[in-house]
Structure 1
Amino acid sequence: MTKDTMIAVIGGSGLYEIDGLEDTKWVDVQTPWGAPSDQILTGRLNGVKMAFLPRHGRGHVHAPTEVPYRANIDALKRLGVTDVFSVSACGSFREEMEPGHFVIVDQFIDRTFAREKSFFGTGCVAHVSVAHPTCDRLSDAAETAARDAGITVHRGGTYLCMEGPQFSSIAESKMYRESWGCDVIGMTNMPEAKLAREAELCYASVAMVTDFDSWHPDHGAVEITDIIATLQGNSTNARNMLRRLPDLLGASREDCPQGCDKALEFAIMTAPEKRDPSLVAKLDAVAGRVLS
């Protein structure tokens, strides 16, 4: 079934705007899960509807643990978003994934422990698959857009999501790199990707490398000024990448061939007569398609 495309960008550290948006408006969105990180900037780019949500809020006020992930995803769903691009800073575990490079993530290891990770729970239980947690169609678009913008991009990588806000010890960093086979590390893509899947939103993750993690022998020699300079360069590259996405995705779209937009089809386990009406009411945007 054809529907209008609406692209959302969740911007991480250093990315607080999208260039070229027309008819822009910062909007408040109320959700049953509380307030999102900030108002959401809506507009159009090359005729395609877009939304921008600063993950940490303008001025970077939310620490990774305190980001209201459920409210953010619910708010995007309420606005009519169909496709979500996560853009975030990360550290690298690989020599070839250098500062300034972008990584199109396709797998996650979730090491967070202090965050609400699901819209569902007692009174309405659901289990979605996150075996393939990102959308291939959106990842293809992100890769093409990055290459067209002249960015060195690596397709595929495992993102280790840590709780933070502290960075890794050397022992942890070496374990993630050598024993676990991770490629990059960050603090924000989980539970965001899981919640996007529960909300039946296509989701792609673009991780922007700012530095090598503490495993690297030269890590201690990296100055914070170098990291800030890389962060600023990454932000410029990200904006160049993002403005190419509307032309690649188009103003309308078919159902997701990977089935991201049907993730709840057989996921809800609780019998209708046993469902908690108060929780079902909170799920109106996220799961209304299957609960109505």
Structure 2
Amino acid sequence: MPKTVTKDPVARDLANGTLHDAIADIAEDAARLILPYWRSGAAVQVKSDDSPVTLADQQAEALILSRLAALYPGVQTVAEEQAAADGVPDAAEGRFWLIDPLDGTKGFIAGKESFTVNIALIQNGVGVAAVVSAPATDTTWSTGPDGARKRRFGEPWRPIKVRDRPERPAALLSYTMTDDEAERLSARHGCKAWQGMDSSIKFCLIAEGSFDVYPRTGPTSEWDTAAGQTVLEAAGGRVVVDDGTPLMYGKPGFKNGAFVAMGG
């Protein structure tokens, strides 16, 4: 009998695993576009919410949206700069992309290394494929057909997974916290050691077994967390809200409350 050919390219490429590679390549191309703007004194504009934006954010998002539309036409996209220009959609259902073309813009402007390109595919509130790419270190973390993985640009993938919780677990925290706040928050989660860091790299460092917990009390947007959470969950970790249920996506206003990301 002839094989059944799906008319849904997203479902097809999720099933055969090629979607993960496709979005990783897109994120790395966006990372290469961003990198010449880093530490270059690029002009900074201020958006209506008082957050900064640069040409690197805008051009990277344009590349990502164009490439995703060519590969998977008709899938809704919710992207940071698009939302800033046109308004945030009320909510989303079913299948959609969440995109942050340059997560950690403030750190990027300051010349720090911890900024990322984030792309996540959401289905029914849950991430099913994602990539986080760090231009400054030529490093990408991604979901794959068999779990989470990591590579340097141009090198083969290698699998990653969370570590079992050690006797002295280490926390990652937002760099905006004061030392006293950070110490109190890390201690609340059983961690005496902690490190402040920008961007979604925090999720990825837990996914690869370098850290154990990332608690977040302040608000974030869904495009800040979706890709990192999806990679972490593929590596065996989890991200939960106050009642212990997973952090979900497509919420009204695309805003997150408090959550905790954790490994083993």
More helix by share: 2
Q: Give the TM-score normalised by the residue count of structure 2.
A: 0.28
Larger Rg: 1
More strand by share: 2
